[in-house]
Amino acid sequence: MMTRADAAEIAASPEAVAALLAASRYLADDSLATVIFLAIRLGKPLLLEGAPGVGKTEAAKAIAELLGRELVRLQCYEGIDAGHALYEWNYQRQLLAIRHAGEHEIDIYDDRFLIARPLLQVLRAPEQRVLLVDEIDRSDHEFEALLLEFLSDFQISIPERGTIRAETQPIVILTSNRTRELAEALRRRCVYHWIGYPDAQREAEIIMLRSGHVAEATARAVAIAVQEIRARPLAKPPGIAEAVEWANAATILEKGGSPWPEAFRRAIGVLIKDEEDLAAIAPELGRIVEEALA
């Protein structure tokens, strides 16, 4: 319980959380800071949903950093199962050990034969680790059910060893791109937040924070132009990471001798990565950049 108090001490108020996040180079808006505060204090998992590239994973990294804990990431995919998420036995080693032991007795379910996967890793040291279950929407329903069980009791049963239980409740962050609807039971159990794209001003701040050498005017122009581009019906609207890269690339080109609007246009490949989208945006790009620079 000690550490829970520590976490609660660190997250004294939503404002304190926001300040700490900013210190770990993550600019959160008020509601994101609030839900992070709530998740830590209520001791519930935090479920972050949002379009790709709005900084869900980054948020998790920042949370781990502000708590001074190690981030353990479990990347989900279709077909992920208990062997990838909970634990597995090192069978080769067990076989060797049996041979080696010869006549002696040997416990082949010893710790050294146990490969801890992310969920077990976090369970063993909840005070030092934060669990990130990334892109849970990619896994299938069976895995969601397994996770649900883990999230409600924070324990894992290993038939050969018995039940391993977390001494304190670990901090868990789940992210989803919302490619499919998650089970209601999972949403219910979590503190929920939908991360949207930031407004132009915040995005400009993020761009400046993330890339050291971009001038303020450039960051501002990029933020405005990206907002404008996102408003169009693209197959893949650019995320924040792409905007940062675009600002970076344009700055480099500009230093290499391209004049401003031209530099943006030439660097468009790092912002929009779909041929059709490029074709759709190309005729208007000049005007958008021009307006953003004005």
Partner 1 sequence: MGDLNDPFSPFTGRRCPEGADEGQRHTGQKSAPPLTCLPASSPRQRGEESLPRAAAPFLGFARLLRDHAFPIAPEQVAGFMQAATLLGPRSMNDIREAALATLAPSPDRRAEFETHFRFFFYGDAKPSMEGDNDDETRVKDDRGAREKENQIARQEKGGELSSALEQLSSRDFRRDPDGLGLFRRRLASALPARRSFRTTRTRSRGTLDLRRSLSEIVSADGDIPSPLLRRRQSVSRKLLLLIDVSGSMKLHTADYLKLAHTAVQGADRAEIFTFGTRLTRITSALRIRDRNQALARAAALVDDWDGGTRMGPTLLAFLSVPRFSAFARGACVVILSDGLERGSHAELEIAMRRLSARAFRLSLATPLAGDPRFQPGTAALRAILPVLDDLVDGSSLESLTDFILTLARPAPAAAAIWKRVS
Residue ranges binding partner 1 (CB under 8 A): 8, 14, 30-31, 34-35, 37-38, 41-44, 47, 49, 51, 77-81, 89, 91-92, 94-95, 98, 108, 137, 145, 148-149, 152-155, 163, 169, 177-181, 183-185, 187-194, 233, 235, 276
Alpha helices in 118-182, H assignment, sequence order? 118-124, 141-153
Q: How far is the CB of 121 from partner 1 (least distance, A)?
A: 20
Q: How far is the CB of 149 from partner 1 (least distance, A)?
A: 6
Burial of 56 (C-beta count, 10 Å sphere; 0-12/13-18/19+): buried
Q: How far is the CB of 53 from partner 1 (least distance, A)?
A: 12
Closest to partner 1 by CB, 92 vs 259, is 92
Closest to partner 1 by CB, 23 vs 42, is 42
Q: How far is the CB of 157 from partner 1 (least distance, A)?
A: 8
Q: How far apart are CA 219 and CA 209, in angstroms?
A: 10
DSSP string, 167-218: SSPPEEEEEE--SSPPPHHHHHHSEEEEE-PPPHHHHHHHHHHHSTT--HHH
Q: How far apart are CA 12 and CA 174, in angstroms?
A: 22
Residue 113: DSSP 8-state: G
Measured in degrees and rounded to the nearest 5, phi and psi for residue 250 equal -65, -40
Closest to partner 1 by CB, 25 vs 77, is 77
Closest to partner 1 by CB, 156 vs 249, is 156
Q: How far is the CB of 173 from partner 1 (least distance, A)?
A: 14
Closest CA to 122 of 97, 89, 147, 140: 147
> Is residue 133 classed as helix, strand or coil in its secondary structure?
strand
Closest to partner 1 by CB, 204 vs 238, is 238
Q: How far apart are CA 170 and CA 48, in angstroms?
A: 17
Q: How far is the CB of 153 from partner 1 (least distance, A)?
A: 4
Q: How far apart are CA 177 and CA 69, in angstroms?
A: 25
Closest to partner 1 by CB, 87 vs 264, is 87
> Is residue 19 classed as helix, strand or coil in its secondary structure?
helix
Closest to partner 1 by CB, 190 vs 285, is 190
Q: How far is the CB of 217 from partner 1 (least distance, A)?
A: 33
